[in-house]
């Protein structure tokens, strides 16, 4: 068996995108990188200011409504089908409900060979990087930094507080079969 999906779970501004790009650069096979941010960008803008879609609170709290949840379920079913059809996929995700989110994703990925990766970053460091990026709602980083890991089980954990994306990617790549 070989790894079919790599799931990177971490809060906003924890460094998932940088790690994904490094993984794409160092892994010998081509991997597609997809994340919940890609889904959000491809939705009707009106859904992002509707209670039934996805709303952002003034302190960065994310509130997914029923329409968003239905679309996200279908989106994930699609990514699982891509992987079954032979595409290797790195999924960037944010487990807003911790272990509940993981179990839901695990069920959707079914029989696929998944490497579960925790991407940690100290809350104050993630908040500082959120400010330096300048394109995210302030508060998301701090509010998600620890809560997304609650009760989640990983094959590998990396911490970007002191390690570069490339070093984290190398640690992850060594576990890819």
Among 59, 133, 150, 175, binds its own copies (CB under 8 A): 133
Q: Where are the alpha helices (DSSP H) in the chain?
A: 16-26, 36-41, 66-84, 99-109, 123-133, 140-144, 165-173
Name the residue among 174, 147, 145 with its Cα closest to residue 160.
145
**Active-site residue, 37 included:** yes
Among 99, 100, 110, 164, binds its own copies (CB under 8 A): 164
Among 96, 112, 152, 166, binds its own copies (CB under 8 A): 166
The minimum distance between CB 90 and its own copies, in angstroms, equals 9
Cα 155 from Cα 1, distance rounded (Å)? 16
Q: How long is the chain?
A: 177
**Any contact of residue 12 with its own copies (CB under 8 A)?**
no
**12, 62 contact by CB (below 8 A):** no
Question: Closer CB to its own copies, residue 32 or residue 96?
Answer: 32
- Enter the tokens of residue 9: 């779970």
Contact residues: its own copies, CB under 8 A: 17-19, 21-22, 24-25, 30-34, 38-39, 42-47, 53, 67, 70-71, 73-75, 77-87, 125, 128-129, 131-134, 164-167
């Amino acid at each position: 068996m070989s790894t079919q999906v790599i799931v990177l779970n971490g809060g906003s501004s924890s460094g998932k995108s940088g790690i994904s790009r490094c993984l794409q650069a160092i892994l010998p096979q081509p991997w597609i990188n997809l994340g919940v941010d890609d889904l959000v960008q491809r939705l009707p803008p009106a859904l992002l200011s509707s209670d039934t879609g996805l709303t952002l609170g003034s302190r960065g709290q994310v509130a997914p409504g029923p329409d968003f949840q239905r679309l996200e379920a279908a989106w994930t079913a699609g990514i699982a089908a891509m992987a079954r059809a032979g595409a290797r996929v790195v999924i960037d995700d944010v487990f807003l409900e911790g272990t509940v989110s993981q179990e839901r994703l695990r069920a959707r990925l079914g029989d696929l060979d998944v490497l579960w990766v925790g991407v940690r970053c100290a809350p104050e460091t993630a908040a500082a990087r959120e400010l330096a990026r300048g394109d995210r709602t302030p508060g998301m980083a701090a509010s998600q930094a620890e809560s997304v890991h609650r009760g989640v089980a990983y094959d590998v954990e990396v911490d970007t507080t002191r390690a570069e994306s490339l070093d984290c990617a190398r640690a992850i790549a060594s576990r890819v079969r």
